[in-house]
Structure 1
Amino acid sequence: MSSYSFDDLEPCSHLATEFTGDVETKYRRVVSWSIARHSNGRSLPKRRKIAIPTCGTCNITLVRPFVCLHCSYSGCWAGSHVADHLKQSSHIFCVDVSSGAIFCSVCDDVVHNHTLDRAYLESHLKAEEKRTVAKIPREPFKFWEPLADAEEVSALEGTTAIPCQGRRGLLNLGQTCYLNVILQCLVHNPLLRNHFLGDKHNHKLCKIQDCACCEMDKLYIEMYSEDTTPFGPVSFLATTWRKSAELAGYAQHDAHEFFIASLNHIHSNCKGSTNISCICIIHSTFAGQLQSDVKCERCGNVTSTVDPILDVNLELKEKVVRDDKGNPVVSLGACLRKYTQPEKLGPKEYTCSKCGKGSSASKRLSFRKLPPVLSFQFKRFEHKGSDKSASARKLDTPVRIPANLDMMPFTTMSVKDNDKENTGPPIMYQYELFAVINHEGQMDNGHYTNFARFDSGWYRFDDDKVTHSSLGACLKSTPYMCFYVKKHLEYKPHMTPTYIRTRETEAVRERALEQEKEAARQKELDDALLATV
């Protein structure tokens, strides 16, 4: 029996003929059971405990069970018991419950096809929706399929695919490493990438002067082109200078300051951008809500306020505490716990709105709404006193960041005891790392570099130099900013994109104007003809 990997799986002819009827039905049930097993007791109250499976041969408890899709047998992979069962019983398929991967005994390998992928995704989402407790039910998931008369079908006919490499360095235009690292993180942001590469904003059709969205569109075209030579973001830098005078010039600037400025610039030029309930790509990607609860210790009154956020700024301790092995214990989780723990307020800092007197109070922050992409900044640059230039310094505190982040303990529903049972499926709070920004050197003489994930690999970007790296090297670095994306994104039913509706509306308006002009010209001709009679 050969060892297998989940990468580069080959199609299997047996799936087309055997993965039907009862086999497919059982596969869907196994996927649903797996979701219930991992979320047991964490989302819905009074749930029946799910039994832990055991191997049908050696009777050991299975941490990673494999289930036969033709009978009720479950076995272990390490002891080859499940493979032996398939051969002895002449059964073909077994499924890895943890991942949903199917092993074919005839091919002696893990196999897949599009039908299997679709069955897994549908079963996975359906099982999660059953266990989601929400006031507003989620829209049922639907696969997008082009219509027979859709314009997309005709547009794709006759086109040729070009290689899109997406790993292109950026030239340093004069102490612009702060710009390069932010642009690399934006380029490798999966939501922004899908938005701009999906032609949601076309710089050739836009008529806005100094449009940040146009610059992003040009950037994505360059970064995902066939060209592998370093690219100089000259127009992006010039647009930033014209929009933000504080970032103009070749002086050193803070990467986080440029990040916030870029988000504001893109937001202001995005379609759908409003001051209330904005649905632009920036707010759809980065915007969350932070709730502040202040409890008066005199009368017990709780005052809650909700504020929008685009990123999270975390404090760092000056002194590093180390464990027995000498490793730093300052971590992203510890910073988040400190960020959301209760804070004491003195009588001079708080006046209760109920009892009308100044009293001691406790203030606690929590995440009321989590964004699809979480951006964290560690406050490594601090200023003390009135003269910032004289007292500015950098904190080189090492921080451990995880590859996967669970934000459930820091949400408002989890913080409140009476709402812990209504938090929904745990996967809705799971994030995975996709980019990290590092600052090397001192505050007045430093350099920015970054790591970013592309497909299944990690790369290090140092201006125009791009080198293959690893997740381990990224996690061992000293982060200044880090970016996480949700593992499970909310979805909406298929609808006509807004940019298509906008183009159609503009086309109708242009045709109406042409008709009005033609009618005016015809009227002038008629009047001139009548004047000669």
Structure 2
Amino acid sequence: MTPASPKPNKTKDPNPGIPIYGCEHIQRLLTKSQDVTTNTIQHYKMLLRVIFDNTPIIPQTSKSADRRPVTSLIPNYLCLQCPTTTTAKDRLKHGKLKAHMFYVDSRSGGLFCQMCDDFVWDPTLEELRLRKIGTGSFSSRKRKRDEPFTDPAKDDTAYMSINTTAAPCRATGLRGIFNMGSTCFMSVILQSFVHNPLLRNFYLRDGHQVGQCTQDNCLSCGMDELFQAFYSEETTASYVASKMLSDSWLCQQAAFSELAGYDEHDAHEYFQFLAEELHRTNRQERHTSPTGANASHASHLTSNCDCIVHQTFYGKFQSTLTCQNCGVVTTSVEPFLDLSLAIDSIAKRQGNNGGESSHEWSQPLTLQRCLDVEYMQPERCEYSCRSCDSPQEARKQLSIKNLPNVLCIQFKWFKFDDHKVTMASESHVLGAEAFLLFYIIRSLA
């Protein structure tokens, strides 16, 4: 009787809309050969056991240049391709020396790609990590009733009610913003900013030095005042954001000059305006900026900016062009502040290109379907191929390379289209319900 051959490790096919691999670099590693795939997965399991089963001192300890053990209070990185544990500072040096690109965070078990310079979400490895955290093993079995994840006392409602107290309103920032006349567009953006934990922590720890700021009509100073009022005062009375309104009017940005006045404005436009201003006043890089009307906008798109706005709201697009003649692939990366989804045009593109049945398209349009249509369906376009040295047809694939900490999505529900004009007779206008209602209310006033 011959022993059974070991069962090979396989990457699990994800659900539709979910990438098979975390990034192109981990894909190359896991598809190199069956032995490499098996060894990588087994090594990842071993690292997860080290992180979650042993004392935290082990994964938090690395070796210095003179081979002495050094225990760090911040996360270390365990190499996925060798038994080395490095600090964040020495990770790049180890990668260049050994040509190793993948590391595991010593606290969370998350996978870090050196080439992407970011944590990546790989379905196969992530499932192993979640199983280890949830059940303590890599088995897919469900936990038994007598295997609670946590101490039962911590989940007991009576225990929680006895040992907790209600937080004061100054700790939650629950306050309204007074409407100063058609300023709802500003209030909704300020409320979303003031309850954003990243912005809140930045301003409450004096991320913007108000006492040292020399800028006139500084909106970042206004935001600092707003955060102090929401999180320092024991009151629920509505806040009057007069400084934010006046500074918005007096801002020198020509692109947003139409925001001045008491007219109604678009909240999304004010969000872009405020993000631009906060970036301009808080960016850490002090390089020479372009002059003219586009100076601020140009600095806003700096991909290596480390200001609080970029840390919070900015992600990265990746555009991949494949020449249909020679097969050369051109990749470009650019930052984005928000995603714009045109609901009407996406619905039309779904019906034309999706190939699904009419019953499927009769279902409500979801955010997942909108994102799939916008960023997972390739397009054909014309471009000048450097390899062919002539205009060629190309296949363009747009994808999101890096998601921001806070993803902002703008839904375009309608648009003005002068291509289709419908003639309305005078009798039709006079008989319209809205027209009659206006004069009825006016006569009753």
TM-score with structure 2 setting the length: 0.53
User: In the TM superposition, what are the counterparts of 1:24-35 in structure 2 within 5 Å?
Assistant: none
User: In the TM superposition, what are the counterparts of 1:181-330 in structure 2 within 5 Å?
Assistant: 181-224=188-231, 225-243=233-251, 244-274=256-286, 275=299, 276=302, 277-317=304-344, 328-330=363-365
1:228–1:340 Cα change, 3 Å: same
Distance (whole Å) between structure 2 residues aligned to residue 108 and residue 45 of structure 1: 26
Distance (whole Å) between structure 2 residues aligned to residue 359 and residue 40 of structure 1: 35
Distance (whole Å) between structure 2 residues aligned to residue 180 and residue 242 of structure 1: 18
Deviation per CA, 1:353-380: give whole Å up to 9, x if none. 2212222221111122222111111112
Distance apart, 1:202 and its partner CA: 3.8
| Pair 1:43 & 2:131 matched | no
> Is the 8 Å Cα contact of residues 196 and 217 (structure 1) preserved in structure 2?
yes
Report the counterpart of residue 387 of structure 2 in structure 1: 354
Distance apart, 1:350 and its partner CA: 2.1
| Pair 1:176 & 2:190 matched | no
Deviation per CA, 1:295-331: give whole Å up to 9, x if none. 1111111121111111111121366999979984311
> Is the 8 Å Cα contact of residues 344 and 414 (structure 2) preserved in structure 1?
no
SS of aligned partner of 1:299: coil
Q: Any gaps of 5 or more consecutive residues in structure 1?
A: 1-23, 55-60, 66-75, 83-93, 114-160, 392-441, 443-533
- Which is richer in helix? 2
User: In the TM superposition, what are the counterparts of 1:44-123 in structure 2 within 5 Å?
Assistant: 62-63=141-142, 65=143, 76-77=144-145, 82=146, 95-96=148-149, 101-103=150-152, 109=156
Distance (whole Å) between structure 2 residues aligned to residue 353 and residue 40 of structure 1: 34
Amino acid at match of 1:303: T
Distance (whole Å) between structure 2 residues aligned to residue 240 and residue 216 of structure 1: 12
> Is the 8 Å Cα contact of residues 342 and 362 (structure 1) preserved in structure 2?
no
User: In the TM superposition, what are the counterparts of 1:132-531 in structure 2 within 5 Å?
Assistant: 163-224=170-231, 225-243=233-251, 244-274=256-286, 275=299, 276=302, 277-317=304-344, 328-346=363-381, 349-385=382-418
1:377–1:41 Cα change, 3 Å: closer
SS of aligned partner of 1:359: strand
> Is the 8 Å Cα contact of residues 169 and 235 (structure 2) preserved in structure 1?
no
> Is the 8 Å Cα contact of residues 103 and 111 (structure 1) preserved in structure 2?
no
Distance (whole Å) between structure 2 residues aligned to residue 383 and residue 162 of structure 1: 44
Distance (whole Å) between structure 1 residues aligned to residue 177 and residue 404 of structure 2: 28
SS of aligned partner of 2:340: strand
The CA RMSD measured in Å over matched residues stands at 4.4
Q: Any gaps of 5 or more consecutive residues in structure 2?
A: 1-51, 59-105, 111-120, 161-167, 287-298, 352-356, 423-433, 435-445
Deviation per CA, 1:12-53: give whole Å up to 9, x if none. xxxxxxxxxxxx967989xx99979xx996238999x98x97
> Is the 8 Å Cα contact of residues 178 and 253 (structure 1) preserved in structure 2?
yes
1:108–1:196 Cα change, 3 Å: closer
Deviation per CA, 1:162-210: give whole Å up to 9, x if none. 8434111112222111111111111111100111112212434422211
Deviation per CA, 1:257-288: give whole Å up to 9, x if none. 11000001111111514545211111111122
Amino acid at match of 2:125: S
SS of aligned partner of 2:187: helix
1:273–1:256 Cα change, 3 Å: farther
Amino acid at match of 2:305: C
SS of aligned partner of 1:259: helix
Distance (whole Å) between structure 2 residues aligned to residue 226 and residue 327 of structure 1: 51
Structure with greater contact order relative to length (CA < 8 Å, sep ≥ 6): 1
Percent of pairs identical after alignment?
Answer: 32
Distance (whole Å) between structure 2 residues aligned to residue 252 and residue 108 of structure 1: 48
Deviation per CA, 1:99-138: give whole Å up to 9, x if none. xx2236xx9959999xxxxxxxxxxxxxxxxxxxxxxxxx
- Which is richer in strand? 1
Distance (whole Å) between structure 1 residues aligned to residue 358 and residue 54 of structure 2: 48
Report the counterpart of residue 61 of structure 2 in structure 1: none
1:273–1:179 Cα change, 3 Å: farther
SS of aligned partner of 2:333: strand
> Is the 8 Å Cα contact of residues 316 and 334 (structure 2) preserved in structure 1?
yes
1:163–1:264 Cα change, 3 Å: closer
